[in-house]
Amino acid sequence: MEGEKVALSVGQVAFLLGITPVLAAWAYSELLEYRKHLYPSKVHSDLNLVDLRGYSGQAVTKDEEKSVLLEGGILESVNSKGSAVSVKAQLLKLFSLDELFLLECRPTLRAIAEFAGILFYFYLCDRTTLFGESKKSYNRDLFLFLYLLLVIVSWWTSLKKHVEKSVASGKSILYLNRHQTEEWKGWMQVLFLMYHYFAAAEMYNAIRVFIAGYVWMTGFGNFSYYYVRKDFSLGRFFQMMWRLNFLVIFCCIILNNNYMLYYICPMHTLFTVMVYCALGVFHKYNELPVVMAIKFAICFFTVIIIWEVPGMFELVWSPLTSIMGYVDPNPNKEKKPPLFEWQFRSGLDRYVWIIGMIYAYFHPMVEKWLERLDELEYRLRALLKTIIVTVAVVVGYLWYQHIYKLDKYTYNKLHPYTSWIPISVYICLRNISQPLRNSSLSLFAWLGKITLETYIGQFHIWLRTGVPNGQPGHLLSVIPNYPLLNFMLTSSLYLLVSLRLFELTGTLKSSFVPSKDNKRLSQIALVGLSIACALYGVAFLLIKL
Ligand SMILES: *[C@@H]1O[C@H](CO)[C@@H](O)[C@H](O)[C@H]1NC(C)=O
Ligand SMILES: *[C@@H]1O[C@H](CO)[C@@H](O)[C@H](O)[C@H]1NC(C)=O
């Protein structure tokens, strides 16, 4: 492929067009900051109180594809006065290189620059021959050795006992607390990533269960949030959408990929939206058990209609084929219709998000029940717990023998209806005793926090896809002929970059997606879309000429 001419896609050109002025503005703002330190009095003399109020801390500039709202320093004033300063005025300020304004925006500009730098690194690793690539190889011994080593290390170094008390009852927080969910994500994510890195085909079925676990958590977490907080505001909703899709959209643009290559993102987005709708519609009546029962029934019914009735899935999704379609460019792979991938992936976990919601609904009840259980007299408690553990273990064993061990095609057919079994067994065992409930491994919890970034990053800076829409069939090789050293080096860089991406997504989110100001949110969306369209238009013309 070396001889091929590098042809840029429209998206890539549009990105370059958009990012260049932002990078320039960032460089200028750094210069201003530097000057401010050299001659503190000079800049301050430009500054008066009227100005300060005018710049209520926000500005919009143009970013790659989206408009970007910059909340500079004074965050408090955003909600009260934010809308007063129109997005347009702030854009103007940016383009006129208003010094004070640039200084205020500097942290956001810097975050954008760093983000662009990381995307550039993605491109270098994945689409150029700067680094080599090597073949995946699987060795069960090495695989388990590495995983267990990580478990032991984190056990010795990062085991945390949480002694939080819930304010209301004064009792220890029991059920499904955040550390545990994150730790759980970490357990699964490490195996999931290693499965890709070592091409551990024999773990296929386990990986399906892990992904079901994530989707279960999407249902569980989002249900709890909306049910308890009752916060259906658009701001919060779009913040969540930003978290799920910001990085992936830019990866698609820069690397000229389809959204469906990263199928985890559309899947979680879909199920998050479905939970939002399920709880948001008539949310005043959520307290009534009848209403909730009807809502659960409607969720099941919707899923049955869309996924189980032949032809319905194509009918519903075909208008979105350009977004949800995916065709593997690998010529050795059997050609499938474009929507096949989406149908397959979303179909595997079509029910488990509802199961997650149901668990979340009964969560307070189970929590009370667990508290009561722990107050029981010793012998009775031991008896009950033994019964619970035995039942869980037996159910888990039966599932393992009769379902997990099936070959992958047969297993996939049963997966949507059975994935809740191992999940329930895990939850049950993980929470059976107070000490188990109250401790977690923070190394795994940390890894669990950045799952989205590690998921997306693996394609490009740990593994390699090589071509647009390619599956990551190779490993990124920086140190040829030293597979383990290479593994260590690429893994460290990869984790570091993932962590930065996690932080940058958050920084930019608080800058561009105001949580409590819908008017500004819609202004930003509008300006962002216009800028994106303009950039695409210009890029399109440039390529044609
Ligand atoms: C149960 O286990 C799951 C998995 O770790 C965890 O998310 C949850 O916090 C635990 N708590 C209980 C008592 O369910
Ligand atoms: C809702 O689900 C998405 C996808 O898993 C997740 O990123 C988000 O944090 C969840 N929201 C809440 C409030 O738990």
What is the whole-number distance in angstroms between the Cα of residue 246 and the centre of ligand 1? 29
pLDDT of 42: 54
Query: Does residue 221 have its Cβ closer than 6 Å to ligand 2?
Result: yes
User: Which residue, judged by its Cα, is nearest atom 3 of ligand 1?
Assistant: 427
Residue from 3, 32, 52 nearest 109 by CA? 32
Mutation to probe ligand 1, out of 437, 439, 449 (largest number of atoms < 8 A from CB): 437
- Using one digit for the tens of pLDDT, what is the confidence trace for 114-172? 999 999 999 999 999 999 999 999 999 999 999 999 999 999 998 988 765 554 444 44
Among 523, 383, 65, smallest CA distance to 251 is for 65
Q: Is 431 in the pocket of ligand 1 (CB under 6 A)?
A: yes
Angle in degrees, 0-180, between the axes of helices 264-280 and 204-224, rounded to the nearest 10:
30
Cβ–ligand 2 contact at 240 (below 6 Å): yes
Evaluate: CB of 176 within 6 angstroms of ligand 1: yes
- Measured from the Cα of 243, ligand 2's closest atom is 7
State the DSSP code for 473: -
- Alpha carbons within 13 angstroms on the beta-carbon side of residue 337 total 10
Nearest Cα to Cα of residue 278 among 226, 243, 233: 226
Query: How remote is the CA of residue 136 from the centroid of ligand 1, in Å?
Result: 35
Cα–Cα distance measured from residue 108 to residue 26, given in angstroms and rounded to the nearest whole number: 9
DSSP state of 482: -
Residue ranges covered by each domain of the chain: 10-115+515-544, 133-509
Residue 503 CA, ligand 1 centroid: distance in Å: 26
Residue 303 Cβ inside 6 Å of ligand 1? The answer reads no
* Ligand 1 pocket check for 423: Cβ under 6 Å: no
Question: Which atom of ligand 1 lies closest to the CA of 178?
Answer: 9
Report which bound ligand comes closest to the CA of 181.
1
Helix or strand holding residue 67 (H, E) = strand 67-71
Instruction: Find out whether the beta carbon of 225 lies less than 6 Å from any atom of ligand 2.
Output: yes
Nearest CA to ligand 2 atom 11: 222
- The pLDDT of residue 58 is 39
CA distances, 100 to each of 16, 35, 85, 173 (Å) = 26, 12, 15, 48
- DSSP letter string, 375-430: HS-HHHHHHHHHHHHHHHHHHHHHHIIIIITS-HHHHHHHHHHHTHHHHHHHHHHH
Ligand 2, residue 221: give the atom nearest the CA. Answer: 14
Ligand 1 atom nearest residue 177's Cα: 9
Give average pLDDT by consecutive 10-residue segment, the chain, 545 residues.
63 95 94 87 46 38 38 35 65 83 92 97 94 93 96 93 58 60 95 96 96 96 93 93 96 95 96 96 93 96 96 95 92 90 96 97 91 89 94 97 96 96 95 86 94 96 93 94 95 97 96 90 93 95 90
Q: Does residue 437 have its Cβ closer than 6 Å to ligand 1?
A: yes
**What pLDDT is stored for residue 5 in this prediction?**
52
What per-residue confidence (pLDDT) applies to 165? Answer: 54
Pocket of ligand 2 contains residue 465 by CB under 6 Å: no
Question: From the CB of 177, is ligand 1 less than 6 Å away?
Answer: yes
Say which ligand is closest to the CA of 221.
Answer: 2
Q: How far are the Cα atoms of 135, 249, 275, 306, 361 from residue 351, in angstroms, in the given order?
A: 36, 26, 12, 12, 16
